[in-house]
Amino acid sequence: MQYVTLNNGVEMPVLGFGVYQIPPEQTEQAVGDALAAGYRSLDTAAAYGNEEAVGRAIRDSGIPRRDLFVTTKLWVSDAGEDRAKRAFDTSLRKLGLDHLDLYLIHQPFGDVYGSWRAMESLQRDGLVRAIGVSNFHPDRLVDLIDHNEVTPAVNQIETHPFHQRTADQGLMRERGVQIESWGPFAEGRNNLFTEPGLSGIAAAHGKSVAQVVLRWLIQRDVVVIPKSVRPARMAENLDVFDFELTDGQMATVAALDTGASLFFDHRDPAMVSRLGNATLDS
């Protein structure tokens, strides 16, 4: 496994396992299989509804806590200094852990600054090793950095061959923020798995398109958290450290960038209202 060093010195695996859209009743098995395959970084969120299942899989694995890197996220309806601390306690209890490795603000809406003060406090108290954000565009990220004590360690954003976020990554690098990809395979949109350029690169290396995409992200210094419920695919996604894309192959992938989201725009007023007012099921 390769690691990135975050802005506070914490080391984070460059490749982890995500559980977005895995139903709670399937999550425990999926995470158990992922840990057995060799994953040591797990990414969940309060909004996914499967933190308890992730926690059970961790306990059943027998893997020492020090060997794991666990991330979860704060939802908008729990934004604000006091509510964020209570939400953190709830997530920690559901996961069955005594600390987190990374805690993220899930969406750039609501009382972000109150939430960030709470997260700074949690980090000072040793309850979380690193804090960060998700889905923050550069303007929101810079504003948060400029008006707070702690710079986010990570910004987890949509990043894949069709939306590459190169300029965003450059800004993050300047500000000491690690980019992390969600949706690395674009959920198969734009026929990603049969795209001719990606397929040609895959054939040249004797790898799959998915492995090429993950390798491309890793070579760009992007942390990535692919999801699968199939053990064979989990193992395949981990097997990306024995080859390297050439400069020409990197350029082939770079040419696929559309510069736009394939999912939703966090600056669209209707989407802002929808996400900003969404509450979690009790």
Q: What residues are annotated to the active site?
A: 48
Length of the chain: 282
Residue 70's region, left for phi above 0, alpha for psi from -120 to 50, else beta, is beta
Query: Is 141 within 8 Å of 177 (Cβ atoms)?
Result: yes
Q: How far is CA 30 from the centre of its chain?
A: 17
Radius of gyration of the chain (CA): 18
- Element holding 164 (H helix, E strand): none
Report the alpha-carbon distance of residue 60 to residue 63 in Å, rounded: 8
The encoded tokens of residue 62 equal 């027998």
| Alpha helices by DSSP H, 62-158 | 81-95, 112-124, 138-146
Cα distances (Å, whole numbers) of residue 208 to 215, 266, 275:
11, 31, 35
DSSP sequence for 232-265: HHHHHHH--SS----HHHHHHHHTT--SS-SS--
